[in-house]
Homo-oligomer: A and B are copies of this chain.
Amino acid sequence: MDGLPNQTLWYFEYITPELVQAEGVRRVLYEGQTKYQHVQVLETGPFGRSLVLDGKTQSSEADEWVYHEGLVQPVMVAHSDPKRVFIAGGGEGATAREVLRHQSVTEVVMVDLDKEVVDLCKEHLPNHHKGAFDDPRLTLLHEDALAYLDNTTELFDVMIIDVPDPLEGGPAYLLYTEEFYGVVKSRLGPGGMVVTQAGPAGPINVTEVFAAINKTMARVFRSVTGYRTYIPSFGTTWGFAMGATEDAPDLTLLAPDEVDRRIAARITSELAYYDGVTHQGLMGLPKYIRQAIADETRVITKANPIYAI
């Protein structure tokens, strides 16, 4: 009988309608509906504790460090001196955690619409946030990120967009539009950089939203660098896209040695995923992804949004 009962409960994540990742569930820590979205906090066999919003895994203990270091560290390391950082979303607290590792950082403004989700993460995902919510440099606000940026006059060195996929009817699809990137750009200080999670980027789904997000950002920012890494709990390679203002460096030109030097100089704790060689791997996009971006013609706007599956 050993092990059997654990395997009677399964979580199905639909990567596409004909492709499902099924994960044995050991415990359902929470399931419910907030004002904005459906939330599950699951303890899965293969990935440990996972936050699932509207049926999509946001991050899991077993690989959240790949996702969060991959999202945060390249842009933080590429910036010459990141002091003020903005985070949209990031409810698990792990994005803030990665930002706060940097000694240079003096202030982090994190705007996550859904207080209920953040509170659930505080309670159920201690290995995600690792105390980041208690750091005095963090200001946590619960409002619409776009509204916040529209109404502020503050400027940021680094901005990180860590919101759910642009699902139809979901709370986040407007945060992937040309209009939104225009607002973001207006809030970047000199040499400022933005990075966004950018959806799946594997051979069968790179054209779903990743290519269009890159194309859209390229209409707003001087240089855009798409990159990707494999996140097992997402059931696919995952994409990110970095946009830089006039004076910011190109991510792909950052040498491995320089990455390692900056990490050593700026971060006292040990990173699990990111370093110079990892950077090189992250940025070395396979030919088919570069081709997909080059071929992409869609620009995402408020009037013509694009939705993930």
Binding site for B on A (CB under 8 A): 1, 3-28, 31, 38, 40, 42, 44-47, 52, 54-55, 62-63, 66, 167-170, 202-204, 229-230, 232, 235-237, 271-275, 277-288, 290
Contacts and interface: CB of A to CB of B under 8 A. Distances in A.
Contact of A272 (B168, B229, B288): B288
Given A203-B62, A287-B278, A22 B25 contact: no
Contacts of A6: 18
Nearest to A32: B27
Given A10-B11, A20-B21, A232-B237, 10 more contacts: A5-B55, A8-B55, A9-B42, A18-B24, A19-B46, A46-B204, A62-B204, A230-B230, A281-B282, A281-B285
A271 B17 CA distance: 30
Contacts of A7: 12, 17-18
Nearest to A44: B18
Contacts of A283: 280-281, 284
Contacts of A42: 9
B28 A19 contact: no
Nearest to A4: B55
A52 B7 CA distance: 13
5 contacts: A8-B12, A15-B46, A232-B236, A232-B237, A281-B283
A52 B21 CA distance: 18
A67 to B, nearest CB: 10
Contact of A18 (B23, B54, B285): B23
B45 A18 contact: yes
Nearest to A48: B204
Contact of A232 (B204, B282, B284): B204
B286 A278 contact: yes
A57 B229 CA distance: 22
Contacts of A24: 17-19
B8 A13 contact: yes
B287 A5 contact: no
A205 to B, nearest CB: 8
Contacts of A18: 6-7, 23-24, 44-46
Contacts of A16: 45-46
B272 A279 contact: no
A272 B291 CA distance: 9
